[in-house]
C-alpha cells in the first residue's frame, strides 16, 4: 500500500513536470459568453513557436500565456477587434492564422478566383470552338444528289 | 552482416534500375523485341532486391541491433514487436526505403499484370518507372542511408517517438505511400504516351485501374491519418490544414480529377491532353508532398537552408521530373489527336465541371501551403496561413462540385438534358429540402450554414441512390425486375454510386461534428461527476500502471445515462522515460455514429486532474464516408471491363463519334 502511494506521488510529480495541454480548467472564464468569444478568437491565433497550431490547440507555454492574455483583454472590456489589433501590434501579422488582405497577400486570397475565372474562360472558349463542329452543316448539292440516288 | 547485405541489395537494385531505365527504352525506339523483353524481368528482380534490403532493415529492428544508427535512434529493446517493425518507417531513412519498396512493387505489378499491354508501351512505362527509381535509390544511398553503423554500439536505443507508438503507424504511412507512389504508374504511362506520341482509349483503360488503386489507398491513408490524429493528439481535432496534411490532400484532389477525366477519355476518346497533364500533375504533387515532408522546408525556410543536402537533392529530383515531364508535355502534347466532341450539358461536360473545381481547389491548397514559404524567401515577411483561410476559400469550391455530383451520372453522353435530370432528382431535392427545414426547426437560426450543409450532404446521398434507382428503371418495371436489373448493373455504376454516397456521408459528419460538438474542460477529484450531452461521467480515481517501455496514470470514468451505467472509460497518460515525453491516450465511447471522447490533462497539487470531455455527434461518418468511397473504388476496380483488361473492339463507337450528334 505504501509502495502504491509512493508510486502515485511519484506519478503526480512526474505529471506536474509534463507539458500542459491546450486550454486548462483554471484558464476558463466564469462568464460563458466571454469564454466562448475567447475560444473563437484563440482558434484564429497562431502559437508562434509551434508548427501551424492555434493557441487553442497548442500546449506550449507561450500559447498558454497568449490564451490568458486574450482572456485578460476580454475581461477588461476589449472588443474582439481590439484584442486582435493588440496582438498584431505586438507580434505582427504572423500571429493571425487568417492572413489579412494586403498587397503581399492579394495573390494568395485571389488565387482561387483567378484560377477559376481563367480556367473557366479557357474552357468556355475551347468548348465553344469544339461545339461549333457539332452544329449540323447543310448538305452540299453533291451529297444531296447522292442521297436522292440512294433513295430512288 | 545483415545491414551490409541490405545495403548491398539496395546498390544492386540501383544497378538494375539503371539498366532498366535505358535498355527497354532503347529497345522500344528501335522496335527490338529482345531489348524490350528485358523490362519485366528487371522490374521483378529490382523488386526482389529492394524487398531484401527492406527485410534486412526490418531484421535489424526486430533484433534491436543498436550498432545500426537508424535502429539506435528510433527503437528500444523493450518496445512491443509490432512497434519495432513499424519503427522501420517511423523515421526519415526507413520511410524513404518504404517509398522505393512500394515503387518497385508497382513496377513489378506492371510487369506481372501488364502482359496484355503492347510491348512498346510496357517497355516505355517500365523504363520511366525506373528513372524515378534511380533518382530515389541515389537519394537514399547518398544522403539517407539507413544501414550506417556506429563504431561502438550503445546498449539501448533512444526509443521511437511515443506519438508514433500506435497502430496508426502500422497502416497510415504504407497506405499513404501506396497512394503517392501509385500515381507514378499514371505518370509513367503519361510520359510513355508523350514519348510515343500516341494515346487512345485503350491507354485510358490501362491507366484507370492503377489510378483507381492508388486513389483508394490514398483515400484510406488520409482518412486513417485523420482518425489517428483525432484519437492520439488528445484534443479531438480531425483535420488541421497542416502543410503535411495538405501535402497528401493535393495529390488526392488531382488524382480524383484524373480518375474522372480518364472516364471521359476511355468512353469518349476526348480530353486526352488534359488527362495526360493531370497524370503528370498528380504524381508531381506526390513528389512535392514528399519534398515538403522530407526536406524540413516546412519548419522554416531557414532550417531548410542550414541543412540543405537532403532538401536540395529532393528539389533536384523535383525539378528534373516535373520540369522534364512538363517540357515533354509542351513539346509533344500538340501531336496527340483530339477525340470525340460534346455539348457543354452532357456527361462529359459534368466531368469537365468536376475537373475545373477540383483543380481549382487543388491550386488553392497548393498556394495556401506554399505562399508563406515563398513570401518569406522573397521578402522576409512572415505570415501564417491556417484553417480560417482554407475554410473560407476551399470549402466554397466544393459546393458546386457537390451540387453537380448527383447530376453527372444521370446526364447522357455527348448531349444531355438538364431539365430531365432535374426532374429525376426531384425526390433527392425533396429529401434535401426536408433536411434543411428539419435542421432549421431543431437548431434554430444560431448556426445558419449547418442546415444547408446537411441539405447538401443529403442531396449527394439521395442523388447517389437515385442514380441506381434510375438505372434499374424501378419506377417503370416493378421491384422484382428492377432488383434483378440493379444487380446486373455494371460494377462501375455501383462503384460511382457508393463513392458519391460516401462523399455525402463525410460531409454530413463534418457538418454535424463542427456545429454541434460540445466540450467540457474541468478539473476533477475522485468521486466528482460532470455531465455532457445527456451523459453523466463520474471520475472513479486513478491508478499507476507500468507498460513495456512506459509508465502510465490510468483513470476510470463511469458513464451513466439517466442513472443507468452505459460504459466505463479508461483514458490514461503515458510517460516514456527514454525521450521524457508524455502522450495522452484518449478513451472513446461510440454510440451510433457519435462518440464521447475523454482525454486527460495535468494533475494538480490538490489531487484533481484536468479532463477534457467532448461529445462529437456523427463524427464517425467522416471516416466511414471515406471507407464507403474506397468500397466504391473497389467495386469499380472489379468491373469486368477492367478485369478483362483487353480492349474491346471500339470500331463501332469510333464511327459514331465522328458523326454529328443528332
**Alpha-carbon distance B511 to B516, whole Å?**
8
Chain B residues closer than 8 Å to A19 by CB: 582
Name which of B394, B359, B399 is nearest B275 in CA terms: B359
Rounded to two decimals, what is the model's pTM?
Answer: 0.90
C-alpha distances (whole Å) from A136 to each of A132, B269, B414, B660, B661 are 9, 21, 14, 7, 8
Output the pLDDT for position A115. 93
Q: Provide the β-strand partners of residue B19.
A: none
Q: pLDDT at residue A19 above 60?
A: no
Q: Per-residue confidence at B40, pLDDT binned at 50, 70, 90?
A: very high
Q: Compute the average pLDDT of residues B573-592.
A: 88
Q: In chain B, which residue's Cα lies nearest the Cα of A39?
A: B519
Separation between Cα atoms, residue B349 and residue B264, nearest integer Å? 9
Mutation test of the interface with chain A: which of B364, B602, B608, B656, choosing the one with the most A Cβ atoms within 10 A?
A: B602
Decide if B582 and A105 are in contact by the 8 Å CB cutoff.
no
Alpha carbons B371 and B57: distance in angstroms, whole number:
38
Q: What pLDDT is stored for residue B43 in this prediction?
A: 95
What percentage of chain A reaches a pLDDT higher than 70? 80
pLDDT at B394 over 50: yes
Q: Which helix (H) or strand (E) holds B299?
A: none
Checking if the pLDDT of B657 tops 60, the result is no
**Mutant choice from B243, B601, B659 vs A, greatest count of A C-beta within 10 A:** B601
The whole-number average pLDDT for the span B456-472 is 92
Distance from CA of B651 to the nearest CA of A (A): 21
Q: Using a CB-CB distance cutoff of 8 angstroms, which residues of chain B are in contact with residue A110? A: none
Between CA B246 and CA B283 the distance in angstroms is 15
Asked if B494 and B465 count as a contact pair (C-beta separation under 8 A), the reply is no
Torsion of CA B267, B269, B270, B273, to 10 degrees: 120
Mutation target for B interface from A6, A18, A19: give the one with most B CBs within 10 A. Answer: A18
Nearest Cβ partner for A123 among B356, B364, B383: B356
Helix, strand, coil content of chain A in percent (nearest 5): 65, 5, 30
- Asked whether the beta carbons of residue A99 and residue B601 sit closer than 8 angstroms, the reply is no
Cα dist from B662 to B124, B414, B521, whole Å? 40, 10, 66
The Cα of A136 is separated from the nearest Cα of chain B by a number of Å equal to 7
Query: Distance from CA of residue B281 to its chain's centroid?
Result: 15
The residue whose grid cell reads 509512493 is A6
User: Count of CB atoms within 10 A of residue A110's CB?
Assistant: 14
Most confident of A59-73, B97-111, B260-274, B550-564: B97-111
* Chain-chain contact of B523 with A26 (C-beta, under 8 angstroms): yes
Task: Look up residue A139 and give its DSSP letter.
Answer: P
pLDDT-above-90 percentage for chain B: 51
DSSP B287-331: HHHHHHHHHSTTT-HHHHHHSHHHHHHHHHHHIIIIIHHHHHHHH
- For residue A1, what pLDDT is reported? 36
B661–A21 C-beta distance less than 8 A: no
pLDDT reported for residue B496: 93
**Do A94 and B368 lie within an 8 Å CB cutoff?**
no
Q: What integer pLDDT is reported at residue B159 of this predicted model?
A: 86
Predicted confidence at residue A11, as pLDDT, reads: 37
- Whether B63 shows a pLDDT value over 80: the answer reads yes
Contact yes or no for A18 and B582 at CB 8 A: yes
Q: Judge: B360–A99 Cβ closer than 8 Å, yes or no.
A: no
pLDDT mean over B288-302: 72
On chain A, the residues whose CB falls within 8 A of the CB of B393 are 109, 112
Residues in chain B within 8 Å Cβ distance of A18: 573, 575, 582, 602
pLDDT over 80 (residue A22): no
ipTM passes above 0.90: no
Mapped onto helix, strand or coil, the DSSP state of residue B545 is strand
Structure confidence at residue B648 (pLDDT): 45
Question: B602, A53: Cβ pair inside 8 Å?
Answer: no
Cβ B299–A105 below 8 Å, yes or no? no
Q: Do A104 and B381 touch (CB under 8 A)?
A: yes
- Put simply, the answer to whether B382 touches A99 (Cβ < 8 Å) is no
Measure CB to CB from residue A131 to each of B341, B375, B393 and give the nearest one: B341
Considering only A58-67, B57-66, B96-105, B494-503, which range has the smallest mean pLDDT? Answer: A58-67
More confident call, B650 vs B3: B3
Query: Is the pLDDT at A91 greater than 80, yes or no?
Result: yes
* DSSP annotation of A46: B
Give yes or no for residue A7 having a pLDDT over 50. no
pLDDT at B166: 86
* Reported confidence tier of residue B463, pLDDT bands at 50, 70, 90: very high
Position with higher pLDDT, A4 vs B116: B116
Amino acid at each position: 500500500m505504501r509502495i502504491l502511494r509512493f508510486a502515485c506521488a511519484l506519478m503526480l510529480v512526474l505529471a506536474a513536470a509534463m507539458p500542459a495541454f491546450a486550454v486548462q480548467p483554471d484558464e476558463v472564464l466564469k462568464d460563458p459568453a466571454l469564454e466562448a468569444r475567447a475560444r473563437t478568437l484563440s482558434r484564429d491565433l497562431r502559437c508562434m513557436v509551434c508548427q501551424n497550431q492555434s493557441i487553442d490547440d497548442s500546449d506550449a507555454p507561450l500559447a498558454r500565456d497568449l490564451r490568458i492574455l486574450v482572456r485578460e483583454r476580454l475581461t477588461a472590456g476589449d472588443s474582439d477587434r481590439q484584442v486582435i489589433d493588440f496582438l498584431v501590434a505586438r507580434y505582427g501579422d504572423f500571429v493571425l492564422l487568417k492572413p489579412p488582405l494586403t498587397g503581399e497577400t492579394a495573390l494568395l486570397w485571389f488565387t482561387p478566383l483567378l484560377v477559376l475565372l481563367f480556367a473557366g474562360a479557357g474552357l468556355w472558349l475551347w468548348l465553344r470552338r469544339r461545339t461549333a463542329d457539332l452544329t449540323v452543316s447543310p448538305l452540299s448539292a453533291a451529297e444531296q444528289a447522292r442521297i436522292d440516288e440512294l433513295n430512288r | 552482416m545483415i545491414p551490409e547485405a541490405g545495403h548491398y541489395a539496395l546498390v544492386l537494385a540501383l544497378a538494375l534500375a539503371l539498366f532498366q531505365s535505358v535498355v527497354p527504352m532503347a529497345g522500344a525506339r528501335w522496335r527490338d523485341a529482345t531489348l524490350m523483353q528485358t523490362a519485366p524481368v528487371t522490374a521483378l528482380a529490382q523488386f526482389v532486391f529492394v524487398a531484401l534490403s527492406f527485410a534486412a532493415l526490418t531484421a535489424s529492428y526486430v533484433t534491436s541491433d543498436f550498432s545500426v544508427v537508424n535502429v539506435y535512434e528510433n527503437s528500444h529493446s523493450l518496445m512491443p514487436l509490432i512497434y519495432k517493425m513499424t519503427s522501420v518507417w517511423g523515421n526519415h531513412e526507413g520511410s524513404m526505403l518504404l517509398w522505393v519498396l512500394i515503387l518497385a512493387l508497382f513496377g513489378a505489378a506492371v510487369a506481372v499484370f501488364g502482359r496484355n499491354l503492347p510491348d512498346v508501351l510496357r517497355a516505355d512505362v517500365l523504363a520511366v518507372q525506373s528513372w524515378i527509381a534511380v533518382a530515389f535509390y541515389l537519394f537514399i544511398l547518398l544522403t539517407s542511408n539507413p544501414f550506417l553503423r556506429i563504431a561502438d554500439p550503445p546498449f539501448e536505443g533512444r526509443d521511437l517517438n511515443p506519438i508514433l507508438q500506435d497502430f496508426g503507424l502500422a497502416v497510415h504511412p504504407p497506405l499513404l505511400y501506396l497512394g503517392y507512389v501509385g500515381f507514378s504508374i499514371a505518370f509513367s504511362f503519361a510520359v510513355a504516351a508523350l514519348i510515343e506520341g500516341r494515346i487512345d482509349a485503350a491507354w485510358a483503360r490501362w491507366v484507370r485501374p492503377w489510378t483507381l488503386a492508388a486513389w483508394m489507398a490514398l483515400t484510406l491513408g488520409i482518412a486513417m491519418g485523420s482518425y489517428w490524429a483525432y484519437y492520439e493528439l488528445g484534443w479531438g481535432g480531425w483535420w488541421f490544414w497542416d502543410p503535411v496534411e495538405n501535402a497528401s490532400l493535393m495529390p488526392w484532389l488531382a488524382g480524383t480529377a484524373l480518375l474522372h477525366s480518364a472516364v471521359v477519355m476511355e468512353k469518349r476518346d476526348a480530353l486526352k491532353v488534359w488527362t495526360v497533364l493531370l497524370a503528370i500533375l498528380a504524381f508531381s504533387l506526390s513528389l512535392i508532398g514528399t519534398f515538403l515532408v522530407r526536406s524540413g522546408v516546412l519548419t522554416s525556410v531557414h532550417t531548410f537552408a542550414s541543412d540543405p543536402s537532403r532538401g536540395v537533392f529532393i528539389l533536384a529530383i523535383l525539378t528534373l521530373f516535373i520540369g522534364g515531364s512538363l517540357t515533354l508535355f509542351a513539346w509533344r502534347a500538340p501531336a496527340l489527336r483530339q477525340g470525340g466532341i460534346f455539348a457543354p450539358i452532357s456527361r462529359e461536360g459534368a466531368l469537365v465541371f468536376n475537373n475545373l473545381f477540383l483543380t481549382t481547389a487543388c491550386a488553392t491548397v497548393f498556394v495556401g501551403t506554399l505562399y508563406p514559404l515563398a513570401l518569406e524567401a522573397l521578402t522576409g515577411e512572415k505570415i501564417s496561413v491556417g484553417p480560417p483561410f482554407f475554410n473560407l476559400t476551399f470549402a466554397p469550391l466544393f459546393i458546386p462540385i457537390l451540387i453537380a455530383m448527383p447530376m453527372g451520372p444521370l446526364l447522357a453522353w455527348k448531349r444531355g438534358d438538364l431539365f430531365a435530370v432535374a426532374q429525376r432528382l426531384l425526390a433527392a431535392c425533396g429529401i434535401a429540402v426536408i433536411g434543411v427545414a428539419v435542421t432549421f426547426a431543431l437548431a434554430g437560426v444560431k448556426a445558419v450554414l449547418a442546415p444547408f450543409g446537411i441539405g447538401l450532404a443529403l442531396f449527394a446521398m439521395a442523388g447517389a441512390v437515385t442514380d441506381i434507382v434510375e438505372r434499374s428503371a424501378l419506377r417503370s418495371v416493378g421491384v422484382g425486375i428492377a432488383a434483378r436489373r440493379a444487380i446486373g448493373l455494371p460494377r462501375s455504376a455501383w462503384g460511382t454510386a457508393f463513392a458519391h454516397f460516401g462523399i455525402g456521408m463525410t460531409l454530413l459528419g463534418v457538418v454535424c461534428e463542427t456545429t454541434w460538438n460540445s466540450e467540457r474542460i474541468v478539473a476533477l477529484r475522485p468521486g466528482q461527476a460532470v455531465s455532457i450531452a445527456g451523459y453523466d461521467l463520474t471520475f472513479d480515481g486513478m491508478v499507476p500502471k507500468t507498460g513495456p517501455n512506459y509508465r502510465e496514470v490510468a483513470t476510470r470514468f463511469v458513464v451513466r445515462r439517466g442513472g443507468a451505467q452505459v460504459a466505463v472509460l479508461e483514458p490514461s497518460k503515458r510517460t516514456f522515460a527514454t525521450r521524457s515525453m508524455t502522450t495522452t491516450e484518449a478513451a472513446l465511447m461510440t454510440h451510433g455514429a457519435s462518440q464521447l471522447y475523454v482525454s486527460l490533462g495535468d494533475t494538480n497539487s490538490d489531487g484533481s486532474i484536468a479532463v477534457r470531455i467532448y461529445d462529437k455527434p456523427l463524427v464517425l461518418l467522416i471516416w466511414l464516408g471515406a471507407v464507403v468511397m474506397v468500397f466504391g473504388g473497389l467495386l469499380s476496380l472489379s468491373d469486368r471491363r477492367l478485369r478483362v483488361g483487353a480492349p474491346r473492339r471500339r470500331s463501332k463507337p469510333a464511327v459514331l463519334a465522328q458523326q454529328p450528334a443528332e
